[in-house]
């Protein structure tokens, strides 16, 4: 991603500035946090969960929304101490590129701090929150997966090139305010309906089915007759 001939580097930053040692490690590798090479692509995805209720006699199950899932961002970073040279913006890598083959720097010195982003912080008692930034893209969350594939070795077996695959899970919270019903409603029971279905649809909570049971004098919530009218009270 570039503008006026200037290449914009992707960056990984640690949101927890109190984790000074890890912040220093990342900066020592990436300078200001910029990646050695930009990813060639990245994938952002999200899933939602539905529960299936299998009703005897029906050809298909009834699906009910349960909850949304956190978004994830997947990308790969290339590390190279064999021939990256000056474009790496790292003095050690530039020297390693000109060194004789046996003297090449191990690529693990560059990739290891990335792996450490999944280690538990002594202060937070959890891995740090990180931020992936590249142009207009900004994604905050926790690294939940990191795997490294070594693709090149020097004459004495030192790894000098690797690809690190990273998955970050968003830490964004759902702050949407849902409205409770402010007036009594009437609903008709169909085959397979349960009180917790009505409670979830009206109150956004399956556990509030008791309000409906009490309003309709229902002693056994398992015995709902199809065609019955239910009064949905406000809460």
**Which helix or strand (DSSP H or E) is residue 203 part of?**
helix 195-203
pLDDT at position 7 is 67
Q: Is 191 left (phi over 0), alpha (psi -120 to 50) or beta?
A: beta
Burial class (CB in 10 A: 0-12, 13-18, 19+), 40: exposed
When pLDDT is cut at 50, 70 and 90, the band that residue 33 belongs to is very low
What is the token pair recorded at 156?
């004495």
The per-residue pLDDT for range 222-232, each reduced to its tens digit, is: 888 888 888 88
Contacts of 235 (CB under 8 A, 6+ apart): 180, 181, 203, 208, 211
Neighbours of 133 (CB within 10 A): 17
When pLDDT is cut at 50, 70 and 90, the band that residue 180 belongs to is low
User: Which is more confident, 207 or 80?
Assistant: 80
Q: What CATH code would you report for 2-170? A: 2.40.30
pLDDT at position 112 is 85
Arithmetic mean of pLDDT, 155-171: 93
Q: Pinpoint the residues of the chain covered by CATH 3.10.350.10.
A: 185-232
pLDDT at position 53 is 81
CB 103 within 8 A of CB 111: no
On the question of pLDDT at 182 being above 60, the answer is no
When pLDDT is cut at 50, 70 and 90, the band that residue 28 belongs to is very low
Q: What percent of the chain has pLDDT over 90?
A: 21
Arithmetic mean of pLDDT, 43-50: 93
The per-residue pLDDT for range 52-95, each reduced to its tens digit, is: 888 777 788 878 788 889 999 999 988 888 887 666 666 677 67
Arithmetic mean of pLDDT, 215-221: 87
pLDDT at position 86 is 60
On the question of pLDDT at 214 being above 50, the answer is yes
Q: What percent of the chain has pLDDT over 70?
A: 81
Burial class (CB in 10 A: 0-12, 13-18, 19+), 141: buried
CA–CA dist 31, 22 (Å, integer): 13
> Any idea which architecture 185-232 has in CATH?
Roll (3.10)
On the question of pLDDT at 145 being above 90, the answer is yes
When pLDDT is cut at 50, 70 and 90, the band that residue 17 belongs to is low
When pLDDT is cut at 50, 70 and 90, the band that residue 177 belongs to is low
Gyration radius of the chain's alpha carbons? 27
Q: Pinpoint the residues of the chain covered by CATH 2.40.30.
A: 2-170
SS3 91: helix
pLDDT at position 51 is 85
The per-residue pLDDT for range 98-133, each reduced to its tens digit, is: 788 888 889 888 888 888 888 887 777 888 888 898
């Amino acid at each position: 991603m570039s503008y006026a001939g200037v290449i914009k580097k992707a960056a990984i930053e640690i949101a927890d500035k109190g984790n000074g040692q890890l912040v220093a490690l990342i900066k020592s590798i990436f300078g200001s946090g910029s990646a050695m090479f930009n990813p060639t692509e990245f994938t952002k995805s999200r899933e939602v969960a539905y529960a299936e209720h299998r009703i005897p006699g029906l050809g298909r199950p009834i699906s009910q929304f349960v909850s949304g899932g956190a978004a994830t961002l997947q990308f790969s970073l290339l590390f190279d101490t064999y021939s990256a040279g000056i474009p790496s913006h790292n003095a050690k890598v530039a020297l390693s590129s000109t060194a004789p083959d046996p003297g090449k720097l191990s690529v693990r010195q560059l990739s290891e701090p990335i792996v450490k982003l999944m280690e538990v912080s002594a202060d937070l008692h959890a891995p740090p929150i990180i931020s992936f930034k590249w142009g207009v893209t900004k994604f905050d969350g926790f690294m939940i997966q990191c795997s490294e594939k070594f693709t090149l070795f020097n004459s004495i077996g030192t790894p000098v090139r690797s690809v690190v695959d990273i998955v970050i899970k968003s830490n964004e919270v759902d702050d949407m305010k849902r409205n409770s019903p402010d007036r009594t409603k009437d609903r008709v029971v169909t085959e397979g309906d349960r009180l917790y279905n009505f409670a979830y649809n009206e109150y956004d909570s399956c556990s509030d089915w008791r309000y409906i049971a009490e309003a309709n004098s229902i002693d056994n919530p398992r015995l709902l007759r199809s065609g019955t009218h239910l009064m949905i009270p406000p809460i």
